[in-house]
């Protein structure tokens, strides 16, 4: 199923190099921007996103966009909540390793924006459209190749590319806080490169700050999040806990990527079927439905889930045509294999947060 392996811009080899981990654990771990220098000159003045303009938001409550979409079966009981905001940071959709647009994607590339909107915004951000108002900024994302530097110089350039991408995310979030939030509780949701930036955003804006009391929950999916990365924000261990972090990376049952041996720390791993740290194993009977190739088709009992060390294992997904789906890395399905379960859980946590706060 080639399309399933690419439907929102990721391929099956994502996160399979040690270089990926080197970049992930160093970008954003220090506020000293002088700790690295690159010989590559980024033009930061051209097409800088202006977040006062809705064009620079892939999803925004003030415009109709793919994050508003509902699968047919969800429309009947749809009751959106406007008391909570969701800030969604999309994954890499600039995936051409030849980097025809440079190390960072230009913000105004129409083809890339359409690809983003009708892949990750449609298939991932839509999960959150009942729990709150969805905001998702466009940003000058780093090319997928930035996770695979081939030399020391490439590594420094890649770090610069991630730094530029994060500067857009930060600017978008600051604009959101100043102009749209109005004191509402906030859910942070992200995937892959989005989680690379999302963990940094949470550390900078929420961890041990006044905003921590506004954090409903964060879903930092598709990247390893060290359990002790945050000072005062802990992993979620129960289904309705708030102010905490959920994270997982999904692989075929029994598969252990080589780079796991370099992870000398416990990572946050949430089971997206049980949401309970005391119940690490769940059969696919608990899977209420995933959304894969066709947005309007919910595939029930599509996958099981089992926490194993720093990752989540699942048997081969059950869907028509899966005989052709042979990848062992289910990165692209981290959210979509558990679509309805995540949708239900974010609603539960938002409701619980509002109850506790008396809102």
* CA atoms within 13 A of residue 287's CA, in its CB half-sphere: 27
Pick from 34-38, 175-179, 192-196, 230-234: least confident: 34-38
pLDDT of residue 41: 59
> What is the DSSP track for 110-157?
HHHHHHHIIIIIHHTGGGGTTTSEEEEE---PBPGGGGS--SHHHHHH
CA distances from 108 to 38, 134, 196 (A): 25, 21, 22
Q: Which residues contact 242 (CB under 8 A, 6 or more apart)?
A: 215, 216, 217, 349, 352, 353, 356
Q: pLDDT by residue (tens digit) across 280-308?
A: 999 999 999 999 989 999 999 999 999 99
Task: Check pLDDT > 50 for residue 18.
Answer: no
Block residue for tokens 């980097």: 99
- Phi and psi at residue 218, in whole multiples of 5°? -125, 135
CA distance 148 to 13: 11
Q: Which helix (H) or strand (E) holds 245?
A: strand 244-246
For residues 290 and 34, the model is more confident at 290
Task: Check pLDDT > 80 for residue 141.
Answer: yes
Beta-carbon count within 10 A of 70 CB:
15
Of 135, 133, 160, the C-alpha closest to 146 is 160
If you average pLDDT over residues 25-48, what whole number do you get? 49
pLDDT band (50, 70, 90) for residue 358: confident
Coil/strand/helix, residue 67: helix
For residues 19 and 353, the model is more confident at 353
Rounded to the nearest 10 degrees, how much is the dihedral formed by the CA atoms of 335, 340, 342, 347? 150
pLDDT band (50, 70, 90) for residue 44: low
pLDDT of residue 359: 80
pTM of the predicted model, to two decimals? 0.90
Report percent pLDDT > 70 for the chain: 87
pLDDT band (50, 70, 90) for residue 15: very low
Strands 133-137 and 215-221: unpaired
Coil/strand/helix, residue 34: helix
- Assign 3-state DSSP to the chain and report helix, strand, coil percentages, each to 5: 35, 15, 50
Q: pLDDT by residue (tens digit) across 48-63?
A: 999 999 999 999 999 9
């Amino acid at each position: 199923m080639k399309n399933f392996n690419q439907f929102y811009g990721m391929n099956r080899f994502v996160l399979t190099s040690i270089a990926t981990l080197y970049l992930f654990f160093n970008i954003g771990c220090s506020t000293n921007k002088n700790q690295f220098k690159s010989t590559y000159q980024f033009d930061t003045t051209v097409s800088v996103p202006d977040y006062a303009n809705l064009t620079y938001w892939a999803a925004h409550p003030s415009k109709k966009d793919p994050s508003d979409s509902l699968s047919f079966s969800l429309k009947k009981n749809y009751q959106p909540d406007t008391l909570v905001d969701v800030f969604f940071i999309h994954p890499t959709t600039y995936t051409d390793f030849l980097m025809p647009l440079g190390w960072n994607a230009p913000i105004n590339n129409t083809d890339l924006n359409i690809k983003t909107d009708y892949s990750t915004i449609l298939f991932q951000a839509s999960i959150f459209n009942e729990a709150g108002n969805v905001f998702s900024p466009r940003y000058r994302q780093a090319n997928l190749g930035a996770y695979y530097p081939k030399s020391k110089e490439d590594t420094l350039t890649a770090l610069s590319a991630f730094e530029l991408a994060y500067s857009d995310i930060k600017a978008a979030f600051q604009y959101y806080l100043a102009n749209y939030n109005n004191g509402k509780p906030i859910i942070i949701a992200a995937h892959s490169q989005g989680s690379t930036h999302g963990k940094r955003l949470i550390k900078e804006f929420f961890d041990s700050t006044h905003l921590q009391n506004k954090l409903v929950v964060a879903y930092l999916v598709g990247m390893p999040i060290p359990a002790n990365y945050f000072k005062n924000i802990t992993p979620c261990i129960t289904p309705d806990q708030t102010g905490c972090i959920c994270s997982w990376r999904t692989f075929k049952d029994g598969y252990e990527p080589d780079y796991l041996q370099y992870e000398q720390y416990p990572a946050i791993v949430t089971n997206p079927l049980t949401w309970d740290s005391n119940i690490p194993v769940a059969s696919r009977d608990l899977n209420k439905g995933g959304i894969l190739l066709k947005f309007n088709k919910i595939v029930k009992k599509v996958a099981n889930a089992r926490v194993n060390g720093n990752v989540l294992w699942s048997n081969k997904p059950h869907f028509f045509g899966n005989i052709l789906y042979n990848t062992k890395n289910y990165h692209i399905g981290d959210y979509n294999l558990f679509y309805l379960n995540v949708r239900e859980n974010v609603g539960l946590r938002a409701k619980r947060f509002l109850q506790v706060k008396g809102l």
